[in-house]
């Protein structure tokens, strides 16, 4: 059965980027930062949707909440194989705002499976998928490591304490993708050229109240000096762990 897949795509700073803040540590400084497709969205959610489309037919649409500076990462998702893309023209500030904006498009598009990465590598919130499912009154499968489709039934596996949990739900369903669901795809030249002409529809954002705001950004404390303890002095290692590291 051909299915309509919607994959939520967000941009994130490359993990090698140097992070800094401005305006009294209340604003992220994007100058000189290289942005990429959030890896959980790209490597797992998007690629698995493409694999399922190749097996069963259908279509894959990506959806991004963001401004024009997101277009390059959206084009990469199109180059990997998505059929078309939607960008909701809004500045993403908090998870509920993003989920609310996505929900409106998800309802209008009547998608069978909505996928998102388990989290973004900059916020690590892991909450948008669950919020989205609640807003559109759909089942939610979180942290899935595999995903299969049989008719209207979606089957998934996710890691649980001591083993794997097998779950299934009837479409429409929201799934957050974790490591193991698929393998990264590198866009080829044909895909890159095709992405230039694939539809990227920009939609004005509906009114959506923010439920949170940034009070301050703070970098983690600098790493201290490394202390090397001889293998012949286990007592000293235990003392350091107990008295200085305070983890024993």
Summarize pLDDT for 149-193 with one digit per residue, the tens.
Answer: 999 999 999 988 888 899 999 999 999 999 999 988 998 999 999
How does the average pLDDT of the chain come out, rounded?
89
Write down the pLDDT at residue 47: 95
Stretch 100-112: mean pLDDT, rounded? 92
For domain 3-219, say whether CATH 3.40.50.620 is its number: yes
Stretch 66-89: mean pLDDT, rounded? 94
Q: Is the pLDDT of residue 208 over 70?
A: no
| pTM score above 0.95 | no
Higher pLDDT, 141 or 29: 141
Write down the pLDDT at residue 174: 96
Task: Using the structure block, give the residue that is written with the tokens 């890896």.
Answer: 39
Per-residue pLDDT tens digits for 21-35: 888 888 888 888 888
CB 201 within 8 A of CB 85: yes
CB 14 within 8 A of CB 35: yes
Tell me how many degrees the CA angle 123-128-132 measures, rounded to the nearest 5: 170
Q: Is the pLDDT of residue 111 over 90?
A: yes
Q: How far separated are the first and last CA of the chain, in Å rounded?
A: 56
């Amino acid at each position: 059965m051909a299915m309509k897949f919607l994959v939520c795509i967000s941009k994130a700073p490359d993990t090698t980027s140097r992070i800094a803040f401005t305006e009294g540590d209340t604003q992220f400084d994007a100058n000189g930062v290289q942005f990429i497709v959030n890896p959980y969205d790209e490597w797992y959610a998007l690629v698995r949707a493409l694999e399922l489309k190749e097996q069963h037919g259908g279509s894959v649409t990506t959806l991004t909440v963001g401004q024009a500076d997101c277009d390059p990462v959206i084009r990469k998702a199109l180059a990997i194989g998505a059929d078309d893309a939607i960008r909701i023209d809004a500045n993403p500030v908090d998870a509920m705002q993003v989920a609310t904006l996505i929900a409106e498009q998800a309802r209008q598009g009547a998608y069978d499976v909505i996928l998102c990465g388990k989290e973004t590598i900059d916020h690590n919130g892991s909450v948008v998928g669950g919020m989205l499912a609640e807003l559109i009154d759909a089942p939610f499968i979180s942290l899935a490591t595999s995903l299969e489709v049989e008719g209207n039934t979606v089957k998934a596996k996710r890691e649980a304490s001591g083993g794997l949990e097998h779950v299934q739900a009837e479409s429409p369903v929201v799934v957050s993708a974790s490591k193991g669901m698929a393998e990264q795809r590198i866009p080829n030249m044909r895909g890159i050229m095709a992405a230039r002409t694939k539809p990227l529809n920009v939609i004005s954002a509906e009114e959506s109240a923010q439920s949170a705001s940034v009070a301050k950004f703070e970098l983690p404390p600098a790493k201290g000096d490394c202390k090397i303890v001889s293998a012949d002095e286990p007592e000293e290692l235990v003392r350091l762990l107990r008295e200085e590291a305070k983890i024993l």
